[in-house]
Amino acid sequence: MATDCLFCKISRGEIPCQQQYQDDQVLAFYDINPKAKTHILIIPHKHIPSIMSLEEGDEKIMGHLIRVAQKIGKDLNLVGYRLQFNVGERGGQVVFHVHLHLMAD
């Protein structure tokens, strides 16, 4: 984990969040600046700066992010939702720790 990364600090519990889900690989929490009625961020505990920084073997954690999104959707009885990755600054990424947005109106 990167010591100065905002999402690493949240993952370590150094910064509080409104947690929705956690397991040994990921943490899901509500976005503090939501862009939808339901806006949850799903992050790996492992610090991965961007999709562009993925290494061999990271596909397992990336697939797990999507499975967790599916679980959260079911748990919240969402009838539809959007999943979004922003990749790189030009792609709208603001926090450089991979995160999956789950959004529903």
Identify the active-site residue in 39, 45, 47, 99: 99
In sequence order, which residues have a C-beta less than 8 Å from that of residue 43 and are 6 or more positions away?
7, 10, 11, 26, 27, 28, 29, 97, 98, 99, 100
Inter-CA distances, 1 with 21, 22, 48, 53, 103, Å: 19, 17, 8, 14, 26
Q: Is 101 a catalytic residue?
A: no
- DSSP letter assigned to residue 58: T
Q: Which residues are catalytic?
A: 99
